[in-house]
Amino acid sequence: MPDMSSGAYLECINPKCSLRYDVRSANVECTRGHLLDVKYAERPSIKLKDLFYRRRNPMGSIFNESGVWRFRELLNFCGIDTEDIRECSDTLVSLDGAEGRQSKPYHMSKAAEFAGVNGDGFWLQPEGYNPSGSFKDNGMATAVTHAKMVGAERIVCASTGNTSASAGMFAANEGMLCDVYIPAGQIAPGKLSQAYQFGAQIIEVDGNFDDALRQSLVDAKTRGSYTVNSINPFRIEGQKTIPFRALEYMNWDVPDWIVYPGGALGNTSSCGKAVTELYEWGWIKKMPRIAVINSDGANTLSALYNGEFEETRLQWNRGLPDEELVMRYYKDMDAAGRRPSTKATAIQIGRPANILKGLRALEATDGVVTMVSDSEMLDGMSVVGLNGFDCEMASGATVAGIRKLVRQEVIKKDDVVVGILTGRQKDAMLPVEYHQNPDNCFAVPPRR
Ligand SMILES: *Cc1c(COP(=O)(O)O)cnc(C)c1O
């Protein structure tokens, strides 16, 4: 029986398995290879809403400044006394309070117009202003906290770029070693250079992200390193604060939609877990619907969820999804030599590691999945720029996806929509190239 004195434990997501583990376990998967959830024995009091609000005046505490740790009672897997600042400092890992600090939803009128929605109900939340430049810092703060809790000295990840930048930054701050597995030649230079600069050991893998992840998981076992990819359930806990911040900003009035680009589906999973918990705890009165936007060149979730691969639609099915269907899809993908392909490298993923948790999130929220082209993503990215915010191409999928769903009348013009802009521009030449071509929707070509 695991030690549950902290009130938190790990549980396998598969209801046929449901094995529980001590929260101090360093295994990111259950012994049968399933994903794990962090679970909390106690229900956090709704009175915390007031405390969270008061902490927006940080009163000298970096853990109140932090957009992640400000909500520490809702992710207290370390079992700390959350008001004891010394205990917080000894336990919680933070970039001096900067993770999540700058993030909140904004109205962006030009993006609203492009998407075809009423601007009053339209919000975009840039996560690119995190210290390493993407939402990954939200989950890295919690994953590295857990790494420290279990005494890990070396963290490891596979990355399409932003995970490595974030892991490298946190490792450098904590004096840990960091190994980064990347698909050789497929990382935006702006992301790769960050990992080098933070002193990470880069390991180039021939193949794509899916191959790099596989290799990193094998090596993590043999070298005893601590995996910080989003299959790590503690990553998911930190990323819950992305919807927390949006909801708090809206006085915990639930929007109709929360929209994310879909890669490995860590964000989708964490949003689903966040709103499910809040609903169960009585913090929110209804569930938002999640919309996941795939690239049409890396559309595993979309193809399976919408029944475009075989007739049957892949569903969470109350914990008993048709995993064979997923395996057939991957087999078919390999046999046909199909590789995920998009210029939005952050979501160029063929085997989303969190697909089952993603399906669970979609079932819990009556979610939808769609896909957009590279050119639509670039338009989405560019119109965000016209509002004075910058985001990367994968984040442009959020705006392009909302536009598409509005045109299909899935999202209604007057719905309240929060779209997450996952990262800032690190591919300097993309906007330059976009604006050279006068045929692009928002292009302003240079003049001589
Ligand atoms: C990692 C990443 C994604 C994909 O997020 P998942 O949680 O893996 O679905 C999307 N956009 C950006 C900018 C990213 O860095």
* Alpha helices by DSSP H, 252-371: 266-280, 300-305, 323-335, 355-365
Cα-to-centroid distance, 262 and ligand 1 (Å): 7
Domain residue extents for the chain: 1-42, 109-130+235-436
Which residue has a Cα nearest atom 15 of ligand 1? 162
Which residue has a Cα nearest atom 1 of ligand 1? 346
* Alpha helices by DSSP H, 178-311: 189-197, 209-223, 233-239, 241-249, 266-280, 300-305
- Where b means 16+ CB within 10 Å and e means fewer, 251-285 reads eeebbebbbbbbbbbbbbbbbbbbbbbbbebebbe
What is the rounded distance in angstroms from the CA atom of residue 102 to the CA atom of residue 243? 14
Q: Is 266 in the pocket of ligand 1 (CB under 6 A)?
A: yes
Contact 124, 386 (CB under 8 A): no
What is the rounded distance in angstroms from the CA atom of residue 150 to the CA atom of residue 24? 6
Mutate to test the pocket of ligand 1, among 347, 355, 393 (most ligand atoms within 8 A of CB): 347
What is the rounded distance in angstroms from the CA atom of residue 39 to the CA atom of residue 448? 61
Q: Is 314 in the pocket of ligand 1 (CB under 6 A)?
A: no
Q: Which two tokens stand for residue 64?
A: 């109140």
Mutate to test the pocket of ligand 1, among 124, 135, 273 (most ligand atoms within 8 A of CB): 135
Cα-to-centroid distance, 214 and ligand 1 (Å): 18
Q: Is 392 in the pocket of ligand 1 (CB under 6 A)?
A: yes
Q: Which H helix or E strand runs over 173?
A: helix 162-174
How many C-beta neighbours within 10 Å does residue 221 have?
11
What is the rounded distance in angstroms from the CA atom of residue 265 to the CA atom of residue 235? 12
Q: Is 145 in the pocket of ligand 1 (CB under 6 A)?
A: no
Nearest atom of ligand 1 to the alpha carbon of 264: 8
Which residues, 6+ apart, have CB-to-CB distance to 222 below 8 Å? Answer: none
How many C-beta neighbours within 10 Å does residue 239 have?
32
What is the rounded distance in angstroms from the CA atom of residue 247 to the CA atom of residue 275? 10
pLDDT for the residue 187: 85
Dihedral sign of CA atoms 420, 426, 430, 435 in order: positive
Strand order in the sheet with 177-183: 201-205, 177-183, 154-158, 226-227
Which residue has a Cα nearest atom 5 of ligand 1? 263
pTM value is: 0.97
Architecture of domain 109-130+235-436: 3-Layer(aba) Sandwich (3.40)
CA distances (Å), 415 to each of 395, 399, 412, in order?
20, 15, 5
What is the rounded distance in angstroms from the CA atom of residue 220 to the CA atom of residue 226? 7
Cα-to-centroid distance, 44 and ligand 1 (Å): 29
Q: What are phi and psi of 118, to 5 degrees?
A: -65, 120
pLDDT for the residue 443: 97
Cα-to-centroid distance, 443 and ligand 1 (Å): 26
Cα-to-centroid distance, 340 and ligand 1 (Å): 15
Tens-binned pLDDT, residue by residue, of the chain (448 aa): 444 456 899 999 999 988 999 999 988 899 888 999 999 999 999 999 999 999 999 999 999 999 999 999 999 999 999 999 999 999 999 999 999 999 999 999 999 999 999 999 999 999 999 999 999 999 999 999 999 999 999 999 999 899 999 999 999 999 999 999 999 988 888 999 999 999 999 999 999 888 999 999 999 999 999 999 999 999 999 999 999 999 999 999 999 999 999 999 999 999 999 999 999 999 999 999 999 999 999 999 999 999 999 989 999 999 999 999 999 999 999 999 999 999 999 999 999 999 999 999 999 999 999 999 999 999 999 999 999 999 999 999 999 999 999 999 999 999 999 999 999 999 999 999 999 999 999 999 999 9
Please, is 9 exposed, middle or buried when counting C-beta atoms within 10 Å of its C-beta (0-12, 13-18, 19+)?
A: buried
Mutate to test the pocket of ligand 1, among 124, 125, 130, 162 (most ligand atoms within 8 A of CB): 162
Look-up: residue for tokens 């009163």?
59
Cα-to-centroid distance, 324 and ligand 1 (Å): 26
pLDDT for the residue 6: 64
Which residues, 6+ apart, have CB-to-CB distance to 200 below 8 Å? Answer: 164, 167, 168, 171, 178, 179, 180
